[in-house]
Homo-oligomer: A and B are copies of this chain.
Amino acid sequence: MTDVESFRRELAEFLERELPARLGTLPPATGDYWGGRRPELPHPQSQRYCEAMAERGLTAPTWPREYGGGGLDKDQAKVLLAELRRLGLPLPLVGFGLSMIGPTLLQFGTEDQKREHLPKIVRGEIRWAQGYSEPNAGSDLASLQASARIDGDELVINGQKVWTSYGDKADWMFGIFRTDSGGKKQEGITFLLLDMAQPGVEVRPIKLISGASPFCETFFSDARAHTRNIIHGIGHGWTVAKALLGHERNMIGDVFGSGSGARNKVIAGNPLAELARDYLGEQGGRIADPLLRDWVAQVSMDERCFALTAQRNADALKAGQKPGPESSIFKIYGTELNQRRHELQLALRGPQCLGWEGPGFDDRELQQTRDWLRSRGNTIEGGTSEIQLNIIAKHVLGLPD
């Protein structure tokens, strides 16, 4: 392996001297840049920063160089993150290209497919969306009906997908479609890549009870994909889809504090306790309301336990143990814990948690109310808690069907 220290030095040189020299100001660590044909810029320099980093493959540090990646090993990648943190720089690029379809292509793609798609992901040229769920295929994903019919060297796609995250902002979609209705439902499913910028594809945002619209419905009427964008072959899409779902579940687990989140919450004082003090006052240095104080302690302790379990899991992986279906517990517990945290915050704020907009409520109150409403979906999206419990019962506990 290369000498980590020399790597750090040349990286620092690039980040501290060369980049500023070329770009002038660099974007701050806040605000994610998702790239794409119609990129949203959290900072005027976000795109140029991304491109400059991409030249060295630093948007996808561990991907092989031949596909535009940085070809770094784990230690070097850690150094990169450390340096970015040290210099207060953001990740140059985020998105489902890097987190979902990229790794999937590296695992299942042909040489041509990798060469065609990975470099564009690395450079942030294409923003990707996921086409999985359908109105009648939620927990029972394999019963999907959106169809792809072979027509020469193209596939003709009809049907509907739902819960497409940021579908209205995406350029290409990776998804699963039915190419054969006979036989077992898991068979006859094909994993496809398709360009969403075509007449046969229509995207409609879905408004949630929280008022936000992070998801979309996608309608296909004779949309077209090229057969060279079939991943892992006709009828073998289910294998690819399941592998990708694994990445997704772990990703969600991370978001809900199994990673940094919950751990930092604890280390950086206790915001719940601060909120309680603010709304309930204190007596003798303690939160004045003993029941809510106890509830704050309970949630804080559960978050600490959850973070410790995530650390134990990470330490076990470092020690060479394989990740198993136990990781389902992070999805279940992390999302439910987030919901409980929000319910607690409602209780702490009392009637001030009831605002939707306008006078009488401050911004944090209004935001928290919406976050609470949004959190109700956490235990549904990305595999419901019920499905996760089934997985644990079957694959971890070995209980019979």
A290 nearest CB neighbor, chain B only: B290
Report copies per complex.
2
Within 8 A of B (CB), among A43-86: none
Q: Which residues of B contact A291 (CB under 8 A)?
A: 290-291, 294
Q: How far is the CB of A301 from chain B (nearest CB, A)?
A: 15
A291 nearest CB neighbor, chain B only: B294
Interface of chain A, main secondary structure: helix
Complex CA–CA separation, A291 to B290 (angstroms):
7
Q: How far is the CB of A286 from chain B (nearest CB, A)?
A: 11
Complex CA–CA separation, A291 to B294 (angstroms):
8
Complex CA–CA separation, A294 to B290 (angstroms):
10
Q: How far is the CB of A3 from chain B (nearest CB, A)?
A: 58
Within 8 A of B (CB), among A259-292: 290-291
Complex CA–CA separation, A103 to B290 (angstroms):
53
Q: Which residues of B contact A294 (CB under 8 A)?
A: 291
Q: How far is the CB of A399 from chain B (nearest CB, A)?
A: 15
Q: How far is the CB of A345 from chain B (nearest CB, A)?
A: 20
Complex CA–CA separation, A356 to B304 (angstroms):
37
Q: How far is the CB of A319 from chain B (nearest CB, A)?
A: 40
4 tightest A-B CB contacts, nearest first: A290-B290, A291-B294, A290-B291, A291-B291
Task: Give me the interface of A with B, judged by CB distance under 8 Å.
Answer: 290-291, 294
